[in-house]
Every structure is written in C-alpha cells, then in structure tokens.
C-alpha cells in the first residue's frame, strides 16, 4: 500500500510540473444526480496530455452503481472512453490507468470488461485494493492519456531532442 501511495504521489508531482509549463483546459462532463457540484474537474488537458480524474461507474439516472460488478466495470470504462473522446482521443491514447477496487476477487470480472476497450497493446496499469469507495462503488478508475500524432502532415512535430533518421 505504501508503494502505491508513493507511486501516486510521484505521478501527481510529475503531472503538476508538466502542467505548470503549458495552458490547461479543465473538462467537466455531464454528471449523475448529486455529483454536479463536486470540487474537481473530470479531466485536465495540458498540451497533448489528458489527466483523467477518478471515475466511478454510476447510473446516470440514479447516481448509484448498478447491482452487477460487470455492469459497473463497463459503466466506468465507458465514462473514461467518453472523457477521452470529448478531447478527440481514444482508449488507444491511454498510457497509464489506476484501478481502485473494494474487492480483489473482482479482478477477473473487471479484466473481462477492460480488455474489450483496447486494440492490441494495453496501457500501464495498477489494480489497487481499497476498503471503500464513495457512493458505494466497487471500481474507481483514473489515468493519463497522450494524444498520438495521426500523421506527420497533420501538424506532427517530433520532440526537439529526437534524432533525425538517416537517409543513407
């Protein structure tokens, strides 16, 4: 548990340093009843990097998690996907996710849903056990996505320290 907290702290510090150097866009998507006035953004876009806040799979009408863990996993992953799409990104732009879960016996249940959201390679991920989550949720997912350049002609600029490829 200490290692997970240290990892989260390091990621937050690194995120803050990166976020300090560029303009930020704060994203707040539609939220279920009783969650509209929460004191955080659903995501923050800094350059091509999207920092996604922790989300729980809540039913949009009731504001509560569904009775099925599988349905909740699908709902939370749909929220992550919708947040990405709102900024022109896809699940394949995700580089890191953290999943907090109130019952580690649900690891396989979550994974069965999770794998359907990616095409090929998976992002780095932590699956962390926790005692309780707000609103009775079983899963909370947060992450980081970096928008992939679609083509060199679409405004892609190589990193300034990248080496030019030799044509010989």
Alpha helices (H) along 64-148: 69-85, 107-114
How confident is the model at residue 160, as a pLDDT? 43
How confident is the model at residue 167, as a pLDDT? 43
How confident is the model at residue 42, as a pLDDT? 86
How confident is the model at residue 142, as a pLDDT? 98
How confident is the model at residue 59, as a pLDDT? 84
Q: Phi and psi for 9 in degrees, rounded to 5?
A: -60, -45
How confident is the model at residue 157, as a pLDDT? 44
Distance CA 160, CA 61 (A): 48
Q: What is the mean pLDDT of each run of 10 residues along the chain (168 residues)?
A: 55 54 80 69 94 91 90 96 95 97 98 94 96 94 91 41 41
Distances (CA, A) of 159 to 15, 53, 149, 163: 18, 27, 12, 9
Longest alpha-carbon distance in the chain: 63
Burial class (CB in 10 A: 0-12, 13-18, 19+), 57: buried
Distances (CA, A) of 140 to 58, 76, 134, 164, 167: 10, 7, 9, 42, 48
Overall residue count recorded for the chain in this entry: 168
How confident is the model at residue 28, as a pLDDT? 84
CATH number attached to the domain at 2-148: 3.30.1330.40
How confident is the model at residue 100, as a pLDDT? 98
Distance CA 99, CA 139 (A): 7
Where do the structural domains in the chain lie, given as residue ranges?
A: 2-148
How confident is the model at residue 168, as a pLDDT? 40
């Amino acid at each position: 548990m200490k290692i997970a907290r240290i990892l989260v702290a390091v990621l937050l510090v690194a995120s803050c340093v990166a976020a300090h150097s560029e303009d930020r866009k704060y994203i707040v998507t539609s939220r279920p009843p009783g969650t509209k006035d929460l004191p955080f953004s659903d995501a923050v876009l800094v350059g091509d990097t999207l920092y996604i806040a922790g989300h729980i799979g809540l039913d949009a009408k009731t504001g509560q998690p569904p009775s099925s863990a599988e349905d909740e996993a699908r709902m939370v992953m749909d929220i992550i996907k919708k947040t990405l799409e709102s900024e022109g990104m896809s699940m394949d732009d995700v580089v890191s996710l953290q999943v907090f879960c109130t019952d580690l016996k649900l690891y396989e249940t979550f994974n069965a849903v999770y794998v359907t959201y990616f095409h090929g390679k998976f992002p780095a991920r932590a699956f962390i056990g926790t005692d309780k989550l707000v609103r009775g949720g079983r899963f909370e997912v947060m992450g980081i996505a970096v928008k992939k350049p679609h083509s060199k002609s679409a405004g892609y600029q190589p990193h300034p320290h990248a080496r030019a490829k030799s044509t010989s």
